[in-house]
Amino acid sequence: MNKVKIYKPSKTSMQSGIGKTKNWILEYIDKKTGINPLMGWESSTHTLSEVKLEFSTKENAIKYAKKNKLTFELIEPKEKKIIKKSYADNFIK
């Protein structure tokens, strides 16, 4: 299990704040997941699948992955398109 993904988390849909979206996350990817026979939940035998490391910059996360010889997949954040409109635009057609 030496494959990781590096990404910047998106804003949750439940809140308007962007508090937990500033850091980059390094998360281990586990392909061998299974269903727990007792509870029916998805589980894994590798404890590293539960590990999420936070980094202040993308470069620090990449440097950590290269230093520890991890194969990484970099997921760039999508740019937000902000459409400015006024309240009056709701009534004009």
Write a three-state SS string for the chain.
Answer: CCEEEEECCCCCCCCCCCHHHCCEEEEECCCCEEECCCCCCEEECCHHHHCEEEECCHHHHHHHHHHCCCEEEEECCCCCCCCCCCHHHHCCC
pLDDT band for position 23 (cuts 50, 70, 90): very high
Domain borders along the chain are 3-90
Mean pLDDT in residue range 16-39:
84
pLDDT band for position 1 (cuts 50, 70, 90): low
First to last CA, the chain: 56
CATH class as words, domain 3-90: alpha beta
For 52-70, the pLDDT digits (tens) are 999 999 999 999 999 999 9
pTM across the whole model: 0.73
Is a pLDDT exceeding 70 seen at residue 81? yes
Task: Kindly report the average pLDDT of the chain as a whole number.
Answer: 87
Is a pLDDT exceeding 90 seen at residue 46? no
User: What does the alpha-carbon distance between residue 90 and residue 93 come to, in Å, rounded to a whole number?
Assistant: 8
pLDDT band for position 27 (cuts 50, 70, 90): very high
